[in-house]
Amino acid sequence: MNTAAYQLILAHGVQQRRNDQGWRTLGIVAALVFAAALVVMIWGNAQGARFVGGNLLMMVVGIYWGGLVVNLLLQNQPNAARLVPGHVARLREVLVVSWLLASLLMTVALVVMTGAVMRQGLSPLPAWLVASWGMAMLGLLMRWPLGWAWLSVLPFLGVWLARQGLLAEAANLLQNRPALLALVSLVLPPLLLLLVVGEGGERHRQSHARAARWREYARQGAGAQALDGSSLPRPLAWFSWLTNGPYRQRLRQLSQRRDAASVGARLMLGLGPATHWTAQVSGAVIFGAIFALVCLGSIWIPVPFVDFMRAGSFGLTIGLMSALLGPLTGLGRTLVKTRNEQRLLVLLPGVPRGAALNRLLAQRWLLQFGLTWLLGLVVAVVVMGFSGAPMELLLPFLLAYLLPIVMVWRDWARLPSSGQGSVLLVFCVIASALLGYALYKWAGVPLWLFASLQVALALGLGCLRWRRQMAAPQALPVGRLA
Amino acid sequence: MKKDDRTMNTATLASKLSVGLHAEQAQPSASAQLQGIQVSYGAQQVLRGLDWQLLPGQVVGLLGRNGGGKTTLLETLLGLREPNAGSALLFGQPVAGLDDATRARIGYVPQQADLFEWLTPAQLLAYFRSFYPRWNEAKVEGLMSRWDIARDKPIAKLSGGQKQRLSIIRALAHEPDLLVLDEPVASLDPAGRRDFLRELVEQVIDRGTTVVFSTHILSDLERVAFNIAFLSQGRIALQAPLDELLETCRLVTGPSGQLQPLLQQPGTVRLAAQALDGGRERWLVRFSAALPELPPVLLGQAPTLEDLFMELTQ
């Protein structure tokens, strides 16, 4: 069997990254993860190591699988699907085999992780069921992103099914009938996944164009405000119009001004809406709307509101911080996206150059993201106080965001064109949070000590990076020296 | 004299034929002056000790092969890219530290037209107007109407040609003294190119604006550019008025031995040579003002701009 064609399909994403010289970041992240696991294991607690290791494995597999599907979708161009012999079949084979591999790894991660936090963790069979369907669903959502909206229904559906006793019945049925189990977990998910790869034609062309718009939306629109809403389905178009409001308003105000004091604010507008502070306002609006919907949904659950909040506090905190600090983790990527615009901006009268420009950007980003982080911290602590949610899990997560804040001080002129992946930055945040939790839970490190270390690390790193940015070549246009 | 001694490479030609390329020849009022510019991308050297000067009111068409460094040269000229060596001055100021008054005198149309796609044309123009002390609103309105650009349609939804026209309007609105255009007509249809060139001639060149633009559309250069600069192997190989080049250059074909005596005439320079079959060669020769009578064995041919491009940018 000639495997070269399959290797090329799988290597597509890797080649993209290698061409972009993005391996250094991956190396740093891998070293961080390894160091985290090592630290916990040195403290001599296998349970902690399993917790951290299991979570990290889940993240790595999830990110890899999601990235692979997106990459296969990029390769699945309508013209190639029609004209290149065997292209569709090969893409499908790679997809199914990769799904199998990712599901197996996810099963291992689930067993390891749940074994660390529960007295009796998931046994391999249910873990496999969850993993295989989870991976298949993730693949389908990469193809049909509107499905993410339906995910918010899942927790309520799960509660309803459990209350009706249907979940237990289904579990019994599957345990007693291996053939049915095999069908449900081994045959149905890959069959559904085959739909992900289009075969050319008008429908495929339309969906490919739609997917490209979505990718653009996701890439530019941290804060959902960068894309013209009229190209979206009606409810989202309306929502997009709403979230565009703060940026439009600010643009209208500042375009009237010509004074030197407003040059910095006008420059930041020109860098695009996705990096602007109004993106965070939009993020807060989106988060608030989703949160309100979830609260509304909780009326149908016979659980006191405080308990509901406590149970959902982890998701709430992650959602809040992701919404508020999405522009921070995506800063590199969005600046790469607007580097052609930056060529015009630096020629404008009044816009500082050299070290003065670096200082202006460093100060504004510190203010913008530092204040937002503080706001997120206060809201999360208030919610935790109100609901009595465990601080030991959430505080390390909140503190972990200090790292990306100081990461905005860097030599932007040498930024690689990949923008040094925002996903990897989020990965670092979560890895750091997990490490903090594990240290507290199993190594007996007090929270205050971990928090102090985290703050000290951020301050130390911040000092170094601030000096580096001040001494670096002019930041804009980004990546011109890479 | 040996053949090679009398054959000038293109870099040597630059020093002899181009319009004031050396510092000692430079006039203090030069709009732009580059000296000894070197730019590399890793191991790849793109500009190699390039000297160039743009005089006020000069209209220069920059020609070079794909990947030859035209965009890099224009970006270096504007201070958007730091050279590894050499100096670049705009209106007498180092490009790395231009003051606001000087920046207000520069207009730039980059190669990419798909810029600021999250804005509408009206928002884009209002945004840029806020930075410039001078802004010709009447000209903007006139061009927006004449070029049929919707003011409130998102830029992302404009056609490639409309985006390019908007980019040109933005660059012309503050009436710059130096206009740098990087392939400005690449995405325009013939009608759009004609309109743009008319605008360039009527309103920009007549104002005495220094214009430098790169393009691959040679017919446009023939219509507008008074000077042509050929970029080859990281240097300006030759810069001269187009009419003069067409008048004084000839493609001469014949036996090698018969071609050599041509170089003995004062002021005659061989710009390029190509070996043909049967011991014959074809030379691109630049004569002094008076064209000599060629011996019957030699075939002389007036070159087109395309011929000059092919010979001088290889």
Q: Which of A430, A324, A316, A462 is nearest to A60 (CA)?
A: A430
- Does residue B292 surpass a pLDDT of 80? no
With a CB-CB cutoff of 8 Å, which residues 225-264 of chain A face chain B? 225-228, 230, 248, 251, 254-258, 263
Read off the pLDDT of each residue in A109-116 and give the average, rounded to a whole number: 81
Cα–Cα dist A186/A170, whole Å: 17
The ipTM estimated for the assembled molecules is 0.80
Read off the pLDDT of each residue in B36-58 and give the average, rounded to a whole number: 92
Question: Between chains, do B118 and A477 touch, taking CB under 8 Å as contact?
Answer: no
The predicted pLDDT at position A192 comes to 92
Read off the pLDDT of each residue in A387-415 and give the average, rounded to a whole number: 83
The predicted pLDDT at position A365 comes to 93
Cα–Cα dist A428/A424, whole Å: 6
Cα–Cα dist B105/B224, whole Å: 22
With a CB-CB cutoff of 8 Å, which residues 130-189 of chain B face chain A? 130-133, 154, 156-157
DSSP character at residue B95: G
- Predicted TM-score (pTM) of this structure: 0.77
The predicted pLDDT at position A223 comes to 37
Check CB contact of A477 with chain B, cutoff 8 Å: yes
The predicted pLDDT at position B23 comes to 40
Cα–Cα dist A406/A365, whole Å: 9
Question: Between chains, do B115 and A353 touch, taking CB under 8 Å as contact?
Answer: no
Q: Any idea of the CA torsion for A30, A35, A36, A39, to the nearest 10 degrees?
A: 160
The predicted pLDDT at position A341 comes to 92
CB A275 within 8 A of CB A327: yes
CA distance B189 to chain A (A): 23
- Does residue A388 surpass a pLDDT of 50? yes
pLDDT digits (tens, 9 = 90+) for A162-177: 777 777 787 777 777 7
The predicted pLDDT at position A436 comes to 79
Mean pLDDT score of chain A: 80
CA distance A217 to chain B (A): 11
The predicted pLDDT at position A41 comes to 63
pLDDT digits (tens, 9 = 90+) for A289-328: 777 877 777 776 667 777 777 777 777 787 888 778 878 8
Of B100, B116, B123, the CB nearest to A349: B100
CA distance B89 to chain A (A): 14
CB A63 within 8 A of CB A423: yes
Q: What are phi and psi of A42, to 5 degrees?
A: -65, -35
Check CB contact of B298 with chain A, cutoff 8 Å: no
Residue A439's pLDDT band (cuts 50, 70, 90)? confident
Q: Is B81 exposed, middle or buried (0-12, 13-18, 19+ CB in 10 A)?
A: buried
Higher pLDDT, A206 or B177: B177
Q: Which residues pair with B286 in a beta bridge?
A: B249, B269
Higher pLDDT, A435 or A76: A76
CB B283 within 8 A of CB B299: no
Q: Which of A312, A335, A323 is nearest to A389 (CA)?
A: A312
Q: Is A445 exposed, middle or buried (0-12, 13-18, 19+ CB in 10 A)?
A: middle
The predicted pLDDT at position A219 comes to 56
Question: Between chains, do B118 and A256 touch, taking CB under 8 Å as contact?
Answer: no
Higher pLDDT, A110 or A387: A110
**Chain B residues within 8 A of A477 when measuring between CB atoms:** 80
Mean pLDDT score of chain B: 84
Read off the pLDDT of each residue in A94-123 and give the average, rounded to a whole number: 83
Residue B51's pLDDT band (cuts 50, 70, 90)? very high
A299: number of Cβ within 10 Å = 9
Question: Between chains, do B126 and A353 touch, taking CB under 8 Å as contact?
Answer: no
Question: Between chains, do B118 and A272 touch, taking CB under 8 Å as contact?
Answer: yes
The encoded tokens of residue A36 equal: 């985290």
Check CB contact of B129 with chain A, cutoff 8 Å: yes
Read off the pLDDT of each residue in B288-297 and give the average, rounded to a whole number: 77
pLDDT digits (tens, 9 = 90+) for A451-470: 888 889 889 988 998 888 88
pLDDT digits (tens, 9 = 90+) for B89-102: 999 999 988 999 99
pLDDT digits (tens, 9 = 90+) for B134-158: 999 999 999 999 888 999 888 888 8
Q: Which of A25, A3, A58 is nearest to A421 (CA)?
A: A25
CA distance B90 to chain A (A): 12
Read off the pLDDT of each residue in A78-95 and give the average, rounded to a whole number: 87
- Does residue A197 surpass a pLDDT of 70? yes
Residue A42's pLDDT band (cuts 50, 70, 90)? low
